[in-house]
Amino acid sequence: VPVPRLGLLTYAAPIGIRLEPGMRVLAPLGARTITGCIVDVVEEAAPVDGLKTILRVLDEQPLVPADVVKLAQWAADYYLCGPGETLAAALPPMARQRADAFKRQRVARITPEGAAVDRGSLTDKQRAAIALVAEAVDGVTLRDLESRQVTAAVIGGLAKRGLVAIERETVDRDPFVADEAGVGEAGATEAGGHAHGPGASGSPFDVEPTTEQRDALTTLTGLASEQAFSVALLHGVTGSGKTQVYLRLADAVRRHGRGVLLLVPEIALTPALAALVRRAFGDRVAIQHSGLSEGERHDQWHRIRRGDVDVVVGTRSAVFAPLQQVGLIVVDEEHDTSYKQDESPRYHGRDVAIVRGREAGALVVLGSATPSLESFQHAQSGRYRLLTLERRVLDRPLASVSIVDMREELAEQGPDVVLSGRLRKAIGQRLEAGEQSLVLLNRRGYATALFCRQCAATLECPNCSITLTVHRSAARARCHYCDHEVRVPERCVSCAGEFLEYRGVGTERIEAEIRDCYPDARIARVDRDTVRRRGAIARVLRRFARRELDVLVGTQMIAKGHDFPEVTLVGVVSADVGLGVADFRAAERTFQLLTQVVGRAGRGARQGEAYIQTLYPNHYSIRHAAKQDYRAFYDRELEYRRSMHYPPSLSMVSLVVKAPSPGQAIADAARIARQLRHAASSFDVLGPAPAPLSRLRGEHRVQIFLKGTHRAAMRQAVIRALDAHRDLARRVTVDVDPLSML
């Protein structure tokens, strides 16, 4: 049942009804009627006491394929959430709705008392109302009564006196009956709706593969043809043509009659890829991502279920797509953190993909220029097959990268410097030459904080332990966690001082700086603030690809997988943004982001150049990213993780306990930690300690970490600890294999 933290429930059903895993049923749950999904069927010779009986079977055939039901169950066990939560991810959008979503109406009926009452004792309005109710044999809905000038107040008064009865009734109407009839090709959206990405049209197979690509393909098609489970890590530098390998491999697999799942971090950010896949496989492709409307998602899901497609492109939830005979699962940019869902069910799309591949006997290909330490370690140990693309297509050189020491810039130009002289000059040169530039700063807004020079107070969020970010164009200061916002104050809110200072820069400020510097440049900004609306990012990227823009300023959104041949300059305003975070993955994230964004330069005929501004020019993640030296970074980072006992040398589970006060949060967490320590023989329990974001949306947060090599033991301990403290269960968030320490 679609209820968080609730395990599998057992219901009775009459003998003789066809029941199979994957079928949906209507069942009573407490006072409600809900739509559940059958996970298992057990036959009993005699009736079992204490079970409620399912009300109705909604499907004649399993809606969710049996293997996907099993996969969802595995994910629920592994990630410590309710099976209904993972199963919900596997169901088509509209089937997720509760039975209550069948229109529920309030119906009034006459009672014996009401029929017998002396109508002379009633008011005019009551008399009119009771007359209407009495003449309707099956009762009359309150909505109908209202349209006949009988207000809810009048009918409520009659109900209170027991003269009419009001009941909630579900309208018996299965939304799928209507849908199934109408499922047509209308759902075959135009490759995500926004087709033309940069690059050429025509079949992607027209391009001749490089020698390296050919070698990788030979190995991969070999592995795929074995029709047995294996995992390959395709480590290819930026611009080496990994997509080309995926597409050709996918084509080979589907020609052998097996299905292909292509998982990508966020299609909405890379509309070009969707278009490419579309051109490669035509209408044998389905697309699944959150940018589609409910109706579109529903249609795409059913196209897959019916077997109308053999290639599915989608974001993490597509790992549960109802595709049959899966022979290949590709996880593109496997290191990308958006594969991990940041709300329950907190599953990792890549890791679920590997389990699905194992169960299906499929080849799983993980691709990245900057593999996660987890994946690369498995490749090193031989568990995954390692394939490497070391050269760019057409042997184009990687960008030449310069690290700009901002300490020197500060010394020379004063504390207000944002763009170094070198980066500013480089942008100017590109404008002169008619070439394009990307400028990255992974932080949105104009300023990160508003600081009072008189009393040293900083404008903070009243609900969260964080400073408000200044968005100047909106003249608002906003919390990026709870969305609380205020007008930017003219005077300090604590001392009324009038000398307020903007501290810390964001993309909005960078855009303004570049405009100041180069008033004629055509500049656009890409971050969550500017591309909130559907299709907005595709529009900007398209304009950039058509060279209607000279400079693109943005957050990590501009670093992801885009292929702009005319970009010859990449500037990173501050490589340090992610390094300050209290997270053992800070260096890895910084390395990945820098490598990815630097890889956007020089993908066309002209050599690319990049500038990375930093206050830590000797930090290893910056140095190795500048050289695009993944191996050096990996060796160094792995050593750090080993010595500090962090993943991938062991596994972690994070628990966050929330409470209305800090003391309460600590006390509650301490109870759970005690219980965990009690069970801890093979793992360590760290904490409780205030979480880095100690207050969020008005709640105080305290953290506990489990660290160990035996995940099952840790999961077991968490289950038992939460079982022993049922009263706290709702206040605790459990994250298995957390990607963030926040």
Partner DNA sequence: AGCACGCCGACT
Partner DNA sequence: GTCGGCGTGCTC
Name the site residues for DNA (rule: CB under 7 A): 2-7, 9-12, 28-32, 50-52, 98, 100, 660, 726-727, 730
Nearer to DNA, 31 or 178 (CB): 31
The least CB distance from residue 485 to DNA, in Å, is: 22
In sequence order, the 6+-apart residues with CB closer than 8 A to the CB of 281 are 250, 251, 254, 310, 311
Query: For the chain, how many residues are written?
Result: 742
d(CA 671, CA 677): 10
Question: C-beta of 52: minimal distance to DNA in Å?
Answer: 4
CB of residue 97 to DNA, shortest distance in Å:
9
C-alpha angle with apex 547: 542 to 552, nearest 5 degrees? 75
Nearest approach in angstroms of CB 53 to DNA is 8
Of 261, 372, 393, 398, the residue nearest 316 (C-alpha)? 261
Minimum gap (Å) between residue 709 Cβ and DNA: 32
Judging by beta carbons within 10 Å of its beta carbon (0-12, 13-18, 19+), is residue 148 exposed, middle or buried?
Answer: exposed
Sign of CA dihedral 287, 289, 292, 293: positive
Residue 50 or 382 having the CB closest to DNA:
50
How far is it, in rounded angstroms, from Cα 469 to Cα 447? Answer: 6
Closest to DNA by CB, 9 vs 183, is 9
Q: Are 166 and 145 in contact (CB under 8 A)?
A: no
Q: Which is nearer to DNA, 6 or 136 (CB)?
A: 6
Please identify, using beta-carbon distances, which residue of 99 and 331 lies nearer to DNA. 99
Cα–Cα nearest to 102, from 17, 11, 177, 20 = 177
Q: Evaluate whether 243 touches 273 at the Cβ level (below 8 Å).
A: yes
Distance CA 216, CA 206 (A): 18
Nearer of residues 28 and 662 to DNA, judged by Cβ? 28
Nearest residue to 277 (alpha-carbon basis) of 246, 233, 231: 246
CB of 617 to DNA, least distance (A): 46
The residue among 51 and 686 lying less far from DNA, judged by its C-beta, is: 51
**Spatial distance between the Cα atoms of 68 and 318, rounded to a whole number of angstroms:** 11
Q: Is the Cβ of residue 155 or residue 329 nearer to DNA in the bound state?
A: 155
Pairing state of beta strands 326-332 and 259-263? parallel
User: What whole-number distance in Å separates Cα of residue 587 and Cα of residue 592?
Assistant: 9
In whole angstroms, how close is the CB of 438 to DNA at the nearest point? 38
Q: What is the DSSP string of 667-688?
A: HHHHHHHHHHHHH-SSEEEEEE
Is-contact 235 368, C-beta < 8 A? yes
> C-beta of 11: minimal distance to DNA in Å?
5
Instruction: State how far the Cα of 399 lies from the Cα of 610, in Å rounded to an integer.
Output: 6
Nearest residue (CB) to DNA, 50 versus 112: 50
Smallest separation (angstroms) from DNA to the CB of 308: 32
Least distance (Å) between residue 590 CB and DNA: 34
Count other Cβ atoms within 10 Å, centred on residue 588: 22
CB nearer DNA, residue 389 or residue 659: 659
